[in-house]
Amino acid sequence: MKTKIVTKKHFEFYGCDTVELAREYGTPLYVMSEDHIIERCNEIKEDFLQKYENTRAVYASKAFLTKEMCRIIKREGLGIDVVSGGELYVAIKSEFPMEKVIFHGNNKTFSELELAVENNVGRIVVDNLYELEMLNNIASEFDKKMEILFRITPGVDSHTHKFISTGQLDSKFGIPLDEEILYGAIYKAIQMPNIELKGFHFHVGSQLFENTSHLKALEILINLMKEAKERVGFETRELNVGGGFGIYYKNGDERAKLRDFMDPIMECLKSECREFNLSIPQVIIEPGRWIVGEAGITLYRIGSIKKIPGVRTYVGINGGLPDNPRPALYDAKYEAVVANKMDEENEDIVTIAGKCCESGDILIWDLEVPRLTPGDILAVKSTGAYNYSMASNYNKIPRPAVVMVKDGQERVIVKRETYEDLIAREI
């Protein structure tokens, strides 16, 4: 750990000189700011947890998960949501309090559920009847009672890319609002000896800037709460409204303020519960991107520069699709700066091309930059969510290291992969 001297020519990220970081740790390099993560956790505490009683917040760990991240989240007092045995394993290995873990997934396997039951995971969000029965059997083997929520497909569309929209009726996630299926499941769950149904969950989509879909889904869920009480005497004690709050990627975006999202949701819930004579359930949120997205940048070194006269200039970087598949998958847009030329005027418009053998591996189209030379450092912003976690070894490109910065000091939290690592599991 050493403090960096920051010069005006260099791009500074939370008190660290990014050019120095690139020199010291190599590129591509994921840089994460613990300060930013703490700021977001504080906003959650101030604008949600402390403002409203009987609330909880869990971090959706799929966005970015390492043992160190678990430690930060644990220290900040939030829970975490996991969606696989692997994510759960990381939480276990970092000694995360298991009662604060929520386990999601549309097709949890027997061994994943077994791991969850064995480790006393706090909530299982059950997605379907098949899972419900399997969980009850496993819980009975361990002589335990597992507390669950049902994931409900509220049947609302959210305004986001269709691959990250999850709440619409035609979705692989959750139990559809179908009388027979839904009440069949509720009825079954409340009679099961090793299951305790606590309430419901919905998640409408990701990278949302307004809460209209959340509010629509909420209305539907309140109706369900009312009906479930009338029809089967089931009292909803917990309501998990998912995550999905949007962040800044590009000009025109503005990170969602948690209070703008949650205040209307809490108001609506309170007033409707009063109207229908329901007790107000505990409300849980599970943001992922919103906590870590803007906390991360990726540093690359620029190599080849190919000018096609009258067409465009392609600038090659030493990473791309394997460390950030989001442009190829979702047409995601990013902003970037040339970290070692912050004092120079922009003069050119270039296209940032990844190094994969794949024409679709373009990180940024038409980026304004100063005059570039091979060796320059490109810093791509808002890469903290779903970059490290979705990284691959395509073209046998080793995954970057992850450096965490805090108070102008850095520490490596994940080592860079080596060529040896690439073949380590081969027999």
CB 239, CB 221: distance < 8 Å: yes
Interface map 245-264 toward ligand LLP (x if CB under 6 A): x-------------------
If the CB atoms of residues 22 and 247 are measured against ligand LLP, the closer one turns out to be: 247
Closest CA to 12 of 410, 291, 414: 410
166 in contact with ligand LLP (CB under 6 A): yes
Choice between 340 and 382, CB closer to ligand LLP: 382
Cis amide linkage into residue 325, ω under 30° from 0: no
Which residue in the block uniquely carries the two structure tokens 């970059």? 387
Number of residues near ligand LLP (by CB under 6 A) = 21
Which 3 state secondary structure label does DSSP give 115? helix
357 assigned to active site: yes
Q: What is the CA radius of gyration of the chain?
A: 23
Reported as type and span, the H/E element at residue 219 is helix 212-232
One-letter amino acid identity for 219? E
C-beta closer to ligand LLP: residue 128 or 207: 207
* Nearest CB to ligand LLP, comparing residues 288 and 408: 288
Shortest spacing between CB 104 and ligand LLP, in angstroms: 5
Tell me the C-alpha to C-alpha distance, in Å, between residue 73 and each of 57, 248, 341, 357, 424.
10, 22, 35, 37, 31
Name the segment binding ligand LLP (CB under 6 A); options: 18-26, 130-138, 201-209, 211-219. 201-209
Give the whole-angstrom CA distance, residue 288 versus residue 310: 42
- Residues between 308 and 327 with contacts to ligand LLP, criterion CB under 6 A: 326
Q: How far is the CB of 125 from ligand LLP (least distance, A)?
A: 7
Alpha carbons 248 and 36: distance in angstroms, whole number: 13
Q: Which stretch binds ligand LLP (CB under 6 A): 5-13, 49-57, 242-250, 306-314?
A: 242-250
Q: Which of 158, 206, 211, 318 binds ligand LLP (CB under 6 A)?
A: 206
Check residue 287 for interaction with ligand LLP (CB under 6 A): yes
CB 193 within 8 A of CB 144: no
Q: According to CB under 6 A, which one of 85, 154, 242, 400 is a site residue for ligand LLP? A: 242
Please pick, from the candidates 32, 70, 146, 164, the single residue that binds ligand LLP as defined by CB under 6 A. Answer: 164
Q: Longest Cα pair distance anywhere in the chain, in angstroms?
A: 73
Distances (CA, A) of 144 to 31, 115, 120, 205, 387: 42, 13, 9, 33, 37
Region near ligand LLP per CB under 6 A, out of 26-34, 226-234, 286-294, 338-346: 286-294
Asked if 243 is part of the footprint of ligand LLP (rule: CB under 6 A), the reply reads yes
3-state secondary structure at position 92: helix
**How far apart are alpha carbons 246 and 6 in whole angstroms?**
31
User: Does residue 298 belong to the site contacting ligand LLP (CB under 6 A)?
Assistant: no
Residues in region 322-381 near ligand LLP by CB under 6 A = 326, 330
Within residues 45-74, the interface with ligand LLP by CB under 6 A covers 60, 63
Determine how many CB atoms are found less than 10 A away from the CB of residue 138. 20
104 contributes a contact to ligand LLP by CB under 6 A: yes
Give catalytic residue positions. 357
Instruction: Write out the residues near ligand LLP by the rule CB under 6 A.
Output: 60, 63, 81, 104, 164, 166, 203, 206-207, 242-245, 286-290, 326, 330, 386
